[in-house]
Structure 1
Amino acid sequence: MQVLRTPDERFAGLPDWPYAPRYHELTDAGGARLRLHYVDEGPRDGAPVLLMHGEPSWAYLYRKVIAGLVAKGRRIIAPDLIGFGRSDKPADRADYTYERHVAWMSQWLTALDLKDLTLFCQDWGGLIGLRLVAAFPERFAGVVVANTGLPTGGGMTDGFKAWLAFSQSVPQMPIGMLVNGGAARDLSPEEVAAYDAPYPDESYKEGARQFPALVPVTPEHASVAENIEAWKTLERFERPLVTAFSDGDPITKGGEAPFQARVPGARGQPHVTLHGGHFLQEDCPEDIVAVIDGLISRRA
């Protein structure tokens, strides 16, 4: 496996990003070593919150959520998925599979021995994060699900169909522009540049290219069986699960319904619809902080 590593200087001086990088080295099933980056901020004895990003963003997406939750005394852990942010990036698209991503993040989660977690997950942060909940339900005290899903081959929205076609055909993938286009507000040029920072050239973007094609939206996709099994665990998950989808995301519109209907822990919870686009972390970070902090406070 050929592995690329973004030079550190690409991440110097990013706006609203004072967080020190932390790293954990994974061993892939094939023996390759991969360095995974994560942020770990706030008091060590604070209630731990796991923030999982998706495609094609990185932990920078949560910069204001991190600050808001740390101010409330919570401990925040925000990893970069392999292929994104400051984490290592396999250079071959074939090296990226759904199950490999789950295995990589499972290895990281258990190596750090994270427990009593409140998960906030969006986009692929949900496709992977909810698999972690299903694999290690005892490690999670609560879940907030936003603009994501756990698909089992049942089709796709028109919004996702358009995104899939674009992502597989555009000659140069404009990462920062895509995040800007997926938010309801206009990002500053400096913020757009921060999303481009992990990718010195197109060779670093194979993970971002591959992710849309991995979403199991047809019965023929890989990982359909694994997601069906994960749903069986979620259908027994009784700890609180809150949905916080946005009102302006054509890709995941209506995706809160299966969670509210199928997860026992979702019953009676104060589900909310937040204002924003697909990347609602850019549009309503204060509201996200309130939802996460509220879930933790209700458990206390």
Structure 2
Amino acid sequence: MKVLRTPDEAFAGIDDFPFAPHYAEIADRQDGTALRVHYVDEGPRDGPVVLMMHGEPSWCYLYRHMIGPVAAAGFRVLAPDLIGFGKSDKPAAKSDYSYARHIAWMRSWLEQLDLKNITLVCQDWGSLIGLRLVAEMPERFSGVVLSNGGLPEGGPAPRAFAIWRAFSKWSPLFPIGKIVSAGTARGLSQAEIAAYDAPFPDSRYKAGARIFPSFVPFENNVAVPDQKRAWQVFDQWTKPFLCCFADQDKITRGGESRFIGRVPGTAGQNHRTLRGGHFIQEDDPQGFVECVLEVAGK
């Protein structure tokens, strides 16, 4: 596959992301293509791991207000960029991406770092990929903190999501920074919008971001059987599982009802509603951090 790599200078103007870059090279399991994964790695290397996974169409910059406080509490915080996003490599063709491939890429990265005792912190596609990783490697995970995401297993797509899916597929313009800003309650500054645009110097770099919404397994999506197998794991999951969805997210609002009561690990957790939109890391990072520390500290 043809692979693009955003030049480092594209990120030079970002002044609110003080984290050193780390890189790991993985091999695609289908054709062997080498792919570079970028990740943040902060806090004590021997501390319990907190894995912060971003979604669509963001990158680990999304967690910049959360990484420091969680690392300062004694945890090793890792925040990777999914392939196709941020400082990670970007396959150039939409056909190079699939839901299964994304999971395989991140599993290769996680296994290469040999991460264990992990608290997964996830939102949006960070949950669709992260929760599948938990289901495939439950022994490596000790807890889950979920906001504004899910693990769909078929059924109709919510209207708001169907509109977003059509936009991502057909709109001639795909202004990523403005899209993220529109998904917040507070709105982003021009500098923050530019930071979300930075990984994508031009439209050639946006194949992954464009195709992602089409992979969400509603209706008769090819991934539905795999989702159902993952749910078999979560139907038996007794480790802590805390939901903290946002009060103003039109796409996932109420999504915690699919987990609370069904996943045994949700029992006794202090589930709560955070204040903000879809990208809750921008609107209520402190509230999200409190949820993370509550689960990771158990």
Measured against the shorter chain, the TM-score band is over 0.9
Question: 1:205 matched to which residue of 2?
Answer: 206
Cross-structure match for 2:259: 259
Structure 1 residue 282 corresponds to structure 2 residue 282? yes
Aligned-partner residue type, residue 199 of structure 2:
P
CA contact (8 A) 1:16 1:64 kept: no
- Tell me the SS of whatever aligns to 1:262: coil
Q: Which residue is equivalent to 2:272?
A: 272
Matches of 2:186 and 2:116, distance apart in 1: 35
Task: Give the residue type in structure 1 aligned to 2:291.
Answer: V
Report Cα offsets for 1:198-225 as digits up to 9, x if no partner: 0010010000000001111112x11110
- Give the partner amino acid of 2:251: I
The equivalent residue for 1:176 is 177
Aligned length: 297
Per-residue deviation, 1:271: 0.4
Q: Where does the alignment leave 5 or more consecutive residues of structure 1 unmatched?
A: none
1:77 is paired with a residue of what secondary structure?
Answer: strand
1:22 corresponds in structure 2 to 22
- Aligned Cα RMSD in Å? 0.8
Kindly report which structure 2 residues correspond to 1:1-300, keeping only aligned pairs within 5 A, or say none. Answer: 1-29=1-29, 30-219=31-220, 221-297=221-297, 299=298
Deviations 1:237-288 (A, max 9, x none): 1100000100011111211111112111111111011001000000001111
Structure 1 residue 15: Cα displacement: 2.8
User: 1:296 Cα shift?
Assistant: 2.2
Q: Deviations over 1:8-62 (max 9, x none)?
A: 1111141320111111111112111110110000111222100000000000000
Amino acid of the structure 1 residue aligned with 2:156: G
* Structure 2 letter corresponding to 1:155: P
**CA contact under 8 A between 2:145 and 2:242: conserved in structure 1?**
yes
Shift of 1:154: 1.1
Structure-2 separation of matches of 1:21 and 1:34 = 16
Provide structure 2 residue ranges, at least 5 long, that are not aligned to the other structure. Answer: none
1:15·1:191 contact (CA, 8 Å) conserved in 2?
A: no
Deviation readout 1:70-106 (Å, 9 max, x if unpaired): 2222210000000000000000001110000000011
CA contact (8 A) 2:50 2:296 kept: no
Kept in 2, the 8 Å contact 1:41–1:77? The answer is yes
Q: Amino acid of the residue matched to residue 259 of structure 2?
A: F
Between the aligned partners of 2:167 and 2:6, the Cα distance in structure 1 is 25
Runs of 4+ deviating beyond 6 Å: none
Alpha-carbon distance in structure 1 between the residues aligned to 2:107 and 2:281: 24
Identity across aligned pairs (percent)? 56
Structure 1 CA distance, aligned partners of 2:190 and 2:74? 31
Task: Tell which deviates more after alignment, 49-58 or 245-254.
Answer: 245-254
Contact 1:40–1:76 (CA<8 Å) still a contact in 2? yes
1:157 touches 1:250 (CA, 8 Å); kept in 2?
no
SS at match of 2:261: helix
Greater shift after overlay, 69-78 or 233-242? 69-78
**Distance in 2, Cα, partners of 1:14 & 1:237:** 40
